[in-house]
């Protein structure tokens, strides 16, 4: 890692004034006869190239090389609630098995909670070599400190090369804290994962609003932490016979302590998440009025579909944020998605490109949504939808 070093012994009043003026971002300042480089620095190196020779130099920070041979295995954190495994875990296991086959590593599962015997046995049906379980009454509820302590204890004992965590509410709370314990990086919301022969994980995710796909590696850090959204990868088939080994672990008593105490649990009414929907009708800015959503609701009812939307309709207050598809919303993988009045920005497409069948309605023949659609209809939705209804009703016209 490179950094700028100030050689204060060479600084004079005249040189300090010159160096402060030379920085195009105003990042260099003088205090008590010494130069300082502030947060505005963009590492443009103008001060090195055009400043007084030798006053500021570009240095290479020596990095400690990690012994990769000491870190083996691809681990998946198995999120559960009352012993029920979150479906994203099976998707992570599918990808872990694929990466392990390419890098000749074992696949591990980390399960944390209470009364997990059935969950452990179920996970063994999905190809993991070992399921490591911390089963304790103190871990019955998700409290961040003991859960992070369990992840840390697991990593120190087993030393996995990769740690995969679902990008759920719990996962997004757990992953950064666990990564910080090992002073390693965390790549969030990965959409593609690849692995090199030397076990370096190539973590690929959209960046700059989805305009580029960033490839991120942490070659000098272990373990390699990443989070992945639900519905990004495919889950493996469940095997009739469970294989692998169940290993029960326990931390030191003080590691179960937490400043958080669960006083009461209030169950929220369960409603279907669009990530679980098999059929989705998604609407965008092509819908001119909130009152026009009635026809969309009628269509969704006929198709037994969930209604979803793009970000502008969330900002307009038409929908709950949980109905948004895209990089800043949900990732979906339905059998059928019908997009109505959606242009097809990269942010939206990134959240639904795994759909088995995409049907698009848009009056702009050059809309980007047609690049990913299997079937496209160019026209005004207010003219096309009534004809859709007519076809679905067997050619009958109302009235």
- Burial class from Cβ neighbours inside 10 Å (0-12, 13-18, 19+) for residue 84 reads exposed
CATH number of residue 30's parent domain:
3.30.70.20
* Residue 335 belongs to some domain of the structure: yes
User: 290 and 248: one domain?
Assistant: no
CATH number of residue 217's parent domain:
3.40.50.620
Q: What is the pLDDT of residue 209?
A: 65
Give the count of beta carbons closer than 10 Å to the beta carbon of residue 286: 20
* Residue 245 belongs to some domain of the structure: yes
Count up the domains in the chain and report the number.
Answer: 3
What is the rounded distance in angstroms from the CA atom of residue 334 to the CA atom of residue 330? 12
Question: At CB < 8 A and 24+ separation, what contacts does 344-347 make?
Answer: 344/368, 344/369, 344/370, 344/371, 344/372, 345/210, 345/310, 346/206, 346/209, 346/210, 346/211, 347/206, 347/209, 347/210, 347/311
186, β-bridge pairs: 225
Task: Give the model confidence (pLDDT) of 321-353 as tens digits.
Answer: 999 999 888 999 999 999 999 999 988 998 898
Instruction: State the pairing for strand pair 84-85/56-60.
Output: unpaired
What is the rounded distance in angstroms from the CA atom of residue 390 to the CA atom of residue 290? 23
Per-position DSSP letters for 327-387, written without gaps between them = TTSB----SEEEEES----HHHHTTTTT-SEEEEEES-TT-GGGGT-SEEEES-HHHHHHH
* Residue 261 belongs to some domain of the structure: no
* Residue 263 belongs to some domain of the structure: no
**Cβ(340)–Cβ(281) below 8 Å:** yes
CA-to-CA dists, residue 374 to 89, 330, 371, angstroms:
30, 21, 8
Q: What is the pLDDT of residue 236?
A: 94
Token code pair at residue 246: 């169940």
Residue linked to tokens 């040189």: 15
Q: How confident is the model at residue 390 (pLDDT cuts 50, 70, 90)?
A: confident
User: 203 and 246: one domain?
Assistant: yes
Task: Give the model confidence (pLDDT) of 297-317 as tens digits.
Answer: 999 999 999 999 999 999 999
User: 100 and 245: one domain?
Assistant: yes
Token code pair at residue 80: 């559960």
Residues of the chain with pLDDT > 90: what percent?
A: 78
Token code pair at residue 102: 């390419």
User: 115 and 201: one domain?
Assistant: yes
* Residue 50 belongs to some domain of the structure: yes
Residue 398 has pLDDT above 70, yes or no: no
Task: Give the model confidence (pLDDT) of 361-371 as tens digits.
Answer: 999 999 999 99
User: 217 and 353: one domain?
Assistant: no
DSSP state of 292: G
Q: 138, 120, 140: which is closest to 130 by C-alpha?
A: 120
User: 303 and 323: one domain?
Assistant: yes
User: 368 and 236: one domain?
Assistant: no
Task: Give the model confidence (pLDDT) of 82-100 as tens digits.
Answer: 999 999 999 999 999 999 9
Most confident of the following: 60-64, 128-132, 258-262, 379-383:
128-132
* Residue 262 belongs to some domain of the structure: no
Query: 3-class DSSP state for residue 248?
Result: strand
Look at residues 60, 80, 101 and tell me which one is the last residue of a structural domain. Answer: 60
* Residue 399 belongs to some domain of the structure: no
Write out the residue range of the structural domain in which residue 314 sits. 274-392
* Residue 185 belongs to some domain of the structure: yes
Q: What is the pLDDT of residue 399?
A: 41
User: 121 and 183: one domain?
Assistant: yes
What is the rounded distance in angstroms from the CA atom of residue 41 to the CA atom of residue 58? 13
Query: 3-class DSSP state for residue 190?
Result: strand
User: 141 and 218: one domain?
Assistant: yes
Helix ranges restricted to H, the chain: 13-22, 46-50, 87-103, 117-123, 144-158, 169-181, 293-303, 311-315, 346-349, 381-392
Q: What is the pLDDT of residue 358?
A: 96
User: 119 and 161: one domain?
Assistant: yes
Residue 396 has pLDDT above 60, yes or no: no
User: 77 and 49: one domain?
Assistant: no
User: 152 and 204: one domain?
Assistant: yes
Q: How high does pLDDT run on average in the chain?
A: 92
Residues ≥6 apart with Cβ < 8 Å to 361: 286, 338, 339, 340, 341, 376, 377, 379, 381, 384, 385
Q: 133, 91, 94: which is closest to 115 by C-alpha?
A: 133
Per-position DSSP letters for 87-131, written without gaps between them = HHHHHHHHHHHHHHHHHT--EEEEEEESS-HHHHHHHGGGT-SEE
**Cβ(128)–Cβ(163) below 8 Å:** no
Task: Give the model confidence (pLDDT) of 237-275 as tens digits.
Answer: 999 888 899 999 999 999 999 998 888 888 877 777 899
Q: What is the pLDDT of residue 328?
A: 82
């Amino acid at each position: 890692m490179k950094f700028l070093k100030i050689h204060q012994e060479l600084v004079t009043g005249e040189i300090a004034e010159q160096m402060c003026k030379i920085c195009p971002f105003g990042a260099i300042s003088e205090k008590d006869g010494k130069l300082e480089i502030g947060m505005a620095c963009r590492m443009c190196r103008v001060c090195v190239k055009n400043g007084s020779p030798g006053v500021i130099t570009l240095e290479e920070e020596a990095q400690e090389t990690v012994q990769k041979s000491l870190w083996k295995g691809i681990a998946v954190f198995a999120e559960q609630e009352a012993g029920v495994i979150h479906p994203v875990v099976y998707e992570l296991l599918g990808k872990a098995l694929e990466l392990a086959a390419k890098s000749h590593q074992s696949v591990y599962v980390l399960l944390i909670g209470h009364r997990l015997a059935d969950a452990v046995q179920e996970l063994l049906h999905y190809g993991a070599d070992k399921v490591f379980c911390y089963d304790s009454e103190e871990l019955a509820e998700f409290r961040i400190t003991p859960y992070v302590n369990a992840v840390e204890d697991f990593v120190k004992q087993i030393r996995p090369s990769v740690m995969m965590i679902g990008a759920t509410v719990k996962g997004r709370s757990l992953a950064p804290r666990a990564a910080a314990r090992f002073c390693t990086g965390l790549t969030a919301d990965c959409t593609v994962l690849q692995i090199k022969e030397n076990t370096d994980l190539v973590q690929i995710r959209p960046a700059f609003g989805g305009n580029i796909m960033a490839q991120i590696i942490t070659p000098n850090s272990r373990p390699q932490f990443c989070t992945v959204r639900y519905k990004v990868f495919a889950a493996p088939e469940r095997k009739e016979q469970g294989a692998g080994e169940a290993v029960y672990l326990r931390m030191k008593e003080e590691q179960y302590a937490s400043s958080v105490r669960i006083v009461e649990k209030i169950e929220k009414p369960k409603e279907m998440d669009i990530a679980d929907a098999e059929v989705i009708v998604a609407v965008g800015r092509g819908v001119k009025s909130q009152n026009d959503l009635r026809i969309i609701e009628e269509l969704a009812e006929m198709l037994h579909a969930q209604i979803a939307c793009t970000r502008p309709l969330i900002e307009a207050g038409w929908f709950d944020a949980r109905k948004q598809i895209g990089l800043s919303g949900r990732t979906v993988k339905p059998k059928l998605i019908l997009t109505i009045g959606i242009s097809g920005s990269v942010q939206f497409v990134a959240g639904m490109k795994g759909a088995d069948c995409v049907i698009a309605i848009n009056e702009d023949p050059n809309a980007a949504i047609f690049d990913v659609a299997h079937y496209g209809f160019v026209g005004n939705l207010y003219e096309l939808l009534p004809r859709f209804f007519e076809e679905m009703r067997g050619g009958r016209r109302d009235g």
